Amino acid sequence: MARKATKPARKAKQPAPSKKPAGKTAAKPTRAAGKEQPDRAATLILGTRKGTLILRRGKDGWKAEPLGHPGVSVSYAARDPRTGVIWSALEHGHWGPKLSRSRDCGRTWEDAPQIKYPEGARYIDPFTEISQNKSRYKAASLMKIWVLGFGAESQPGRIYAGTIPGGLFVSNDGGESFELNLPLWNHESRGGDLFAGDGTGKSFWSGGGLGINGEHAAGIHSLVVDPRNPKRLLVGVSCAGVVETTDDGRTWRGLNDGLRMDYGPDPTPPWGHDVHFMALCPAQPDHLWQQNHFGVFYSSSGAKKWKIVSKKGALVHFGFPVAVDERDGKTAWVVPGRADDQRMAVDGALCVARTEDGGRTWKALRKGLPQKNAWDVVFRHALDIAGDCLAFGSTTGNLYFSRNRGESWECVGSNFPPIHSVRFA
């Protein structure tokens, strides 16, 4: 069996690493009321069940551009802020997961070089291990491109792709080639180096993601680059937890202290946590937020320690997305849902909740949102923020926008396909 990932066809020359120290976390800044970012907040990119949809906001309101990838499910779509290229992660029913990109703001699209697991890549299916009292080794193939992430300005060619079954792929040439990060793939938490043999036979990464083939496996859905140090990347895995590298992917460690997993015999294990989504405050990067299957968690220590800031039975507890204020790390938004058997708006009334004190208190924001017969659920990538503007979309095809930090909402449209992701451009 091959032990190394296939080499990319071309490699861009890498910039010399910065010698600038990471620096300290910024002090809490003041915020100008009502200020928004017009460049980003005026364009929305949607990944939907029926294609990629770009909407632009003008003086007459929102206008949708022609649909990209019509009829094809798009799990995630976003714009690379460094190059302006828009990327879409497609889920072809026949051809499987693929990448597509547009270099002209969505007017035309082209197939991008595709992601492929290297020959000999395997993973352990822990569900078989539990049900049959033995490990089952499965050949790794691409089941879903769940999220895309972009490196810092000092990494002009760096693009990340989080996938199911739990592989992190990295490009250093602007997406012309992708390579599996082997140190994370071979991490001891998922059984060790299975290229060399059967490893430990034990994996703590389990099936939190559903692939296009209908199989469940661990999946990477959150990619958080530390703006002070681009060599530091935090990865959210369902189900495994939070994993961190500080040396550009050469070594990894778990950061799950304080998280809970209430369905297991040990409620605070080091691995196996069902992170739904994770985000940080760009101006205060030590402040991170996580919507977890078992509540909302907050860290002011760079994820070294997590604290639960929600309560079971309260409005704010279960959900999928979380958005963090760009300047104030104690301010965040979630979209509450009812778990586990319903997965819809709480009591049929759609709302967003905001905290401005690190989760000690939450305010329900309902103005402009339906308060009767609303069955929406909002997926983990379907809430975004740009300045004081927020937007979210639901699996029932509703899209909402707020220009005042969620105090009031306007419905952009209610006849969209099921919405998988919402991102400001």
Q: Which two tokens stand for residue 71?
A: 């009829």
Q: Which two tokens stand for residue 423?
A: 């991102």
Higher pLDDT, 420 or 10: 420
* Residue 214 domain-assigned (yes or no): no
- Average pLDDT over the chain reads 90
Range scoring the smallest mean pLDDT among 40-54, 205-219, 318-332: 205-219
* Residue 322 domain-assigned (yes or no): yes
Q: How confident is the model at residue 84 (pLDDT cuts 50, 70, 90)?
A: very high
Q: Which range marks the domain in which residue 289 is found?
A: 255-425
* Residue 291 domain-assigned (yes or no): yes
What pLDDT score was predicted for residue 155? 95
* Residue 263 domain-assigned (yes or no): yes
Q: How confident is the model at residue 129 (pLDDT cuts 50, 70, 90)?
A: low
**CA distances (Å), origin 2, targets 119, 196, 197, 369:** 6, 9, 11, 54
Q: Stretch 13-36: mean pLDDT, rounded?
A: 38
Q: Stretch 156-172: mean pLDDT, rounded?
A: 97
**Cα 29–chain centre separation:** 26
CATH code: domain of residue 384: 2.130.10.10
What pLDDT score was predicted for residue 94? 87
* Residue 106 domain-assigned (yes or no): no
| CA–CA gap between residue 153 and residue 425 (Å, rounded) | 17
Domain count, the chain: 1
Q: How confident is the model at residue 214 (pLDDT cuts 50, 70, 90)?
A: confident
Q: How confident is the model at residue 256 (pLDDT cuts 50, 70, 90)?
A: very high
DSSP calls for 190-226: GTS-TTTS-TTS-------EE-TTS-EE-EEEEEEE-
* Residue 6 domain-assigned (yes or no): no
| CA–CA gap between residue 362 and residue 316 (Å, rounded) | 8
* Residue 281 domain-assigned (yes or no): yes
| List of E strands, 136-274 | 136-139, 144-150, 159-164, 168-171, 179-180, 209-210, 216-217, 219-225, 233-238, 241-245, 253-254
pLDDT of residue 224 exceeding 60, the answer is yes
pLDDT of residue 145 exceeding 80, the answer is yes
pLDDT of residue 228 exceeding 90, the answer is yes
* Residue 365 domain-assigned (yes or no): yes
What pLDDT score was predicted for residue 133? 62
Share of the chain above pLDDT 70, in %: 89
Count of alpha carbons within 13 Å of 236, Cβ hemisphere only? 30
**Cα 179–chain centre separation:** 19
pLDDT of residue 16 exceeding 70, the answer is no
| CA–CA gap between residue 179 and residue 129 (Å, rounded) | 29
Residue among 226, 115, 155 at smallest CA distance from 12: 155
| Cα 215–Cα 220–Cα 222 angle in degrees, nearest 5 | 140
Amino acid in position 211: G
Amino acid in position 275: V
pLDDT of residue 272 exceeding 70, the answer is yes
Q: Stretch 101-123: mean pLDDT, rounded?
A: 97
What pLDDT score was predicted for residue 248? 98
What pLDDT score was predicted for residue 210? 82
Query: Strand pairing of 295-299 and 307-308?
Result: antiparallel
- Supply the Cα-derived Rg of the chain in whole angstroms: 20
